[in-house]
Amino acid sequence: MKSLINANPRDLRQAVTLAEQARSNGRQAMIAGGGSDLLGMVKERIVSPDMLIHLKSIKGLDQVTQAHGAVQIGGLITLDTLSHHPLILRDYAVLAEAAGSVATPQIRNAGTLAGNVCQRPWCWYFRNGFPCFKAGGNTCFSFNGENQFHAIFGGGPSFIVHPSDTAPALVALDAKFRIVGPKGERTVPAGDFFVLPKQNAARENSLGDDEILASIELPAARAGMRSTYHKVLDREAWTHAVVSAAIVLDMDKDVCRSARVVLGGVAPIPWRVPDAERLLTGQRITPELAAKAAETAVAGAKPLAKNAYKVPLTREIVQRTVAGLAART
């Protein structure tokens, strides 16, 4: 394995400067949160950075704070801490449940929220060294290959699915991402952070060179807000979603004021289904309406040769999760 430098910056500004300096010297620096994905990729020679910039050396980037109702979550919070945090559990259950559904206790103890959101795809072609779009090539091997777990929405030219469980929850909650980079800070709605392969086939998000996801803001919780995360796996534990649904309902007694329905495991980005949301808005959610919303949610699906099973699976998950959440008191 090639040797690399481990850098432990004091603050985000220094982390960005280190990344910029490495780039201007023709070297590659990569950002490490918990390292649970990145170190595996280094070991497997999927990436070969000259420098790892460890954000865990920066103090205070793992806190949950509240101001004027909105909640700030430091990007370095571990998934385990997030999944047990009393405020997140009470007001943003979809995020606590999504974080608690990731991988294994060991990975949740090391893995961070920002690292989970920014993790690279787990497509077996990319992870096994094929020169696909994600590795800088110009082919998606899944299209004519083993595409059982690939995209049924938004695919092309790459057909990966976004691997993060917390990402659909953050889009459903209408979170904002605070990004720090060479030009200072910027804030991006979660829904605009993730990019489709047709926008940029090599990347999954809109982070520019040397930019760091610093923290995430959740809007103030409203009375009547209910949320949940439903994840289907192909085995009991340790793995990414085959299909998932992050649902947020804003209820006035039994009438839905607004709804956000975001799917995971089915598209290269967290996949929001506005038509299904519109059907639910302003209505009493009956099992029949939930079924109609679920039918609408899969209306535009374009399955590949081996993943058509995801269409009825997604429909069922949306129907059950929406109906179950609406029936809660």
Ligand X SMILES: Cc1cc2nc3c(=O)[nH]c(=O)nc-3n(C[C@H](O)[C@H](O)[C@H](O)COP(=O)(O)OP(=O)(O)OC[C@H]3O[C@@H](n4cnc5c(N)ncnc54)[C@H](O)[C@@H]3O)c2cc1C
Which burial class, exposed, middle or buried, applies to 329 when counting CB atoms under 10 A from its CB (0-12, 13-18, 19+)? exposed
Query: What's the min distance (Å) between Cβ of 232 and ligand X?
Result: 11
Query: What's the min distance (Å) between Cβ of 209 and ligand X?
Result: 11
- Between 115 and 270, name the residue whose CB sits nearer to ligand X: 115
- Between 34 and 270, name the residue whose CB sits nearer to ligand X: 34
Query: What's the min distance (Å) between Cβ of 188 and ligand X?
Result: 12
- Between 205 and 296, name the residue whose CB sits nearer to ligand X: 205
How long a stretch of residues is the chain? 329
- Contacts of residue 236, defined as CB under 8 A and 6 or more positions apart, other chains included, come to none
Between CA 66 and CA 87 the distance in angstroms is 10
* Residue nearest ligand X, Cβ-based: 115
- Between 55 and 152, name the residue whose CB sits nearer to ligand X: 55
- Between 32 and 273, name the residue whose CB sits nearer to ligand X: 32
| Per-state percent for the chain, helix, strand, coil, to nearest 5 | 35, 20, 45
Cis peptide bond prior to 182, omega within 30° of 0: no
Q: Distance from first CA to last CA of the chain, Å, rounded?
A: 56
Helix (H, G, I), strand (E, B) or coil at 210: coil
Residues making contact with ligand X (CB under 6 A): 30-38, 55, 75, 102-103, 107, 110-112, 114-116, 118-120, 163-165, 207, 212-213, 238-240
Between CA 271 and CA 113 the distance in angstroms is 19
Query: What's the min distance (Å) between Cβ of 24 and ligand X?
Result: 19
Query: What's the min distance (Å) between Cβ of 297 and ligand X?
Result: 21
